[in-house]
Structure 1
Amino acid sequence: MISIRRSQDRGGANFGWLDSKHSFSFGSYYDPRHMGFSALRVINDDQVAPGGGFATHGHSNMEIISYVLEGEIAHKDSEGNVATLPPGEFQLMSAGSGIRHSEFNPSASKPLHFLQIWIEPNVVDKAPGYQQKAFGREQGLTLAVSPDGEAGSLVIKQDARLYQLLLDADTTAELPASTARKYYVHLISGELAIEGETLEPGDGAKIEGIGNLLMVAQQQAVKALVFDLP
């Protein structure tokens, strides 16, 4: 079964410096039909104005992934991590027993566009952690996050995997799937066909009960994130 959440149906918030689209309930946006999917709790599509950002604030017991699409993130946290994330880079912050951090657009002229993703952990109150890595531009599915660090991926405290999907126009990728697992695809750019459905940028697909997951780029190159969830 596949269920599509169209980009235009997402919730959102606009604070001037931040224009955010919410795939699931978040902040002041609440929809009981969209509270997450399996352990996936948040996908926020955030556009941050030059010089804008999130002042220091706290999190606990959440695995928080940022994926930069345009611009840069300036990150600083209470564990002493100070970093800059350029386009194409993944950041995984394990909030664990508690961490405080800030995220800003350091540019005075260029916008920041990134995806903020929250995944609920399967263990709680562990030591906070920080990881950051780019996974290149290889075509097809590239494992970026896993519970065991497979293939150099970032390590998450959950039985979940996150893949970067890059496809040229008129090409395909296949993920060996299990009917016992759940899958979620968030399309960033291009047009992607899955199980007879076509996704447009910003669309999300909840997928259950499917053996192999075949993804077909249409007439445009595709960039997407693919989640393998318990």
Structure 2
Amino acid sequence: MAYQTGLAPRIDVRRAGERFATRIDWLDSKHSFSFGRHRDPANTHHGLLLVNNDDIVRPGSGFETHPHRDMEIVTWVLQGSLVHQDSTGHSGVIYPGLAQRMSAGRGILHSEKNDSWRLDGGEAHTEPVHFVQMWVVPDESDITPGYEQLEIENELLAGGLVPVASGMAKHDGASAIRIKNRYAALHAARLRPGQSVELPDAPYLHLFVPRGDVALEGVGPLGPGDAVRFTGAGGQKVTAVEPAEILVWEMRAAIAR
């Protein structure tokens, strides 16, 4: 995998309504980058981030078993619950405050469904699951597939940006899932009205607002589904206007085009 660094400073605001959309009977999905049948050669990635999908799946439905290869996949649930099962024997229920990473490596099969009641024989629920799924490239190909999840609800309640998933050495020992790219880290924050956090200072940043309204220093209001792509321009404050949640990818390199 080739990388590039040292691009000119830039702040690129992408509004929610500009995203690609996939809507079928069981899925409402918004794509920040080219995905599936949605192709735009000028919008394939930012930094090391290739996919930022904002998905809502109705109860009893979901993604049937499908393959992945050479990708680090992080799933962040905002509402409801998502059942993960894969070909390495891992299975579990992902819910708000639980971070999850799957390393596809040399190849893995998995499914993701909104049907947690089937695991314990309980009654079916009626709540959709809302989650953001993000893909970054690994440092090397053909690694052994893997899975990890971690409860970080207490860290989120404490406020501030919380490392969720990271391959960076500076996060060794922190409450963060390890991903297989030493140049990338995902942070999350739950913000109360008036509460602020400062974005990392990095060559590449991707800020996504999955819910709530915030104000970005030097830019202005951002609402649900809005994103900002930074190149050499970190350090700004993000302040909540109402209860909000943000996801921030800090990246020290980028995929060479």
Q: Which amino acid aligns with 2:159?
A: Q
C-alpha contact (below 8 Å) 2:200/2:250 kept by paired residues = no
Secondary structure at the aligned position of 1:152 is classed as coil
Q: Structure 1 regions of 5+ residues with no counterpart? A: none
* Aligned CA distance change for structure 1 residues 14 and 152 (closer, same or farther; 3 Å): same
Letter matched to residue 71 of structure 2:
M
Asked if 1:49 is matched to 2:58, the reply is yes
Q: Which has the higher contact order (CA 8 A, sep 6+)?
A: 2
Deviations 1:115-152 (A, max 9, x none): 11111112110000101112122211011111145312
Give runs of ≥4 in structure 1 deviating > 3 Å.
none
Change (3 A) 1:186 1:211: closer
Report the Cα offset of residue 20 of structure 1. 0.5
In structure 2, the partner of 1:185 is 207
Question: Corresponding residue for 2:96?
Answer: 87
Greater share of strand residues, 1 or 2?
Answer: 1
Partner of 1:222: 244
| Equivalent in the alignment of 2:222 | 199
| 1:19-77 residue CA offsets vs partner (Å, 9 max, x unmatched) | 10111110011122221101100011111111001111110100011111111111111
Instruction: State the AA in 2 paired with 1:217.
Output: A
**TM-score between both structures, scaled by the size of structure 2:** 0.84
Say whether 1:170 aligns with 2:194. Answer: yes
Given that residues 199 and 234 in structure 2 are in contact (C-alpha distance below 8 angstroms), is that contact kept between their aligned partners in structure 1?
no
Aligned-CA RMSD value: 1.4
Match of 2:160 in 1: 140
- Residue 124 of structure 1, aligned match among 141, 146, 149: 141
1:22 aligns with 2:31: yes
Provide the identity percentage.
Answer: 40
TM-score, scaled to structure 1:
0.94
Q: Paired residue for 1:160?
A: 184
Mean alpha-carbon deviation: is it higher for 125-134 or for 142-151? 142-151
2:243 and 2:129 map into 1 onto residues whose CA distance is: 22
Q: Distance in 2 between matches of 1:196 and 1:85?
A: 35
CA deviation after TM superposition for structure 1 residue 209, in Å: 2.0
List aligned pairs for 1:102-113, cutoff 5 A.
102-106=111-115, 108=124, 109-113=126-130
Q: Aligned letter for 1:25? A: S
TM-superposed deviation, 1:175: 3.3
Question: How has the CA–CA distance of structure 1 residues 123 and 175 changed in structure 2, closer, same or farther, with 3 Å as cutoff?
Answer: same
